[in-house]
Structure 1
Amino acid sequence: MPYQPDKIDLQILKILQQNGRITNLQLSSEIGLSPAPTLERVRKLENAGIIKNYHAVINEEELGLGIKTFIQVQLDFHTSNTIQRFADEVKEIEEVVECHHVTGGCDFILKVFVKDIKSYEKLIMEKISNISVVKTFQTMMILSTSKDEPVMPLDYNGAELS
Structure 2
Amino acid sequence: MDDMDRSILTVLERHGRISNNELAARVGLSPSPCLRRVRNLEESGVILGYRAVIDPTAVGRGLRVLAGVRLTRHTRAHVTAFEDGVMALPGVTACHHITGSIDYLVQVEVADLAAYEDFHANQLAALPGIATVNSFVIMKTLETPS
Query: Does structure 2 retain, via aligned residues, the 8 Å contact 1:17–1:150?
Result: no
**Deviation (angstroms), 1:63:** 2.4
Query: Does 2:121 align with 1:149?
Result: no
Give the 3-state SS of the residue equivalent to 2:90 in structure 1: coil
Are residues 47 and 26 of structure 1, via their aligned partners in 2, closer, same or farther at CA, if it must alter by over 3 Å? same
Q: Report the TM-score when normalising by structure 1.
A: 0.83
Corresponding pairs, count: 146
Determine the structure 2 residue equivalent to 1:123. Answer: 119
Aligned-pair identity (%): 36
Aligned AA for 1:87? E
Determine the structure 1 residue equivalent to 2:35. Answer: 39
Further displaced range: 30-39 or 102-111: 30-39
Determine the structure 2 residue equivalent to 1:83. Answer: 79
**Deviation (angstroms), 1:124:** 1.1
Determine the structure 2 residue equivalent to 1:154. Answer: none
**Deviation (angstroms), 1:79:** 6.3
What is the aligned-residue RMSD (CA, Å)?
1.8
Give the 3-state SS of the residue equivalent to 1:72 in structure 2: strand
**Deviation (angstroms), 1:80:** 5.6
**Deviation (angstroms), 1:61:** 2.0
Give the 3-state SS of the residue equivalent to 2:109 in structure 1: strand
Determine the C-alpha separation between the residues in 1 that align with 2:145 and 2:42. 18
* Higher helix fraction (1 or 2): 2
Q: How does 1:16-55 map to 2 (within 5 A)?
A: 16-55=12-51
Gaps of 5+ in 2: none
Determine the C-alpha separation between the residues in 2 that align with 1:149 and 1:81. 38
Gaps of 5+ in 1: 152-162
Determine the C-alpha separation between the residues in 1 that align with 2:116 and 2:69. 16
**Deviation (angstroms), 1:136:** 1.1
Give the 3-state SS of the residue equivalent to 1:124 in structure 2: helix
Q: Report the TM-score when normalising by structure 2.
A: 0.91
Q: Deviations over 1:62-116 (max 9, x none)?
A: 3232211110001011766111111111110121111011111111111111001
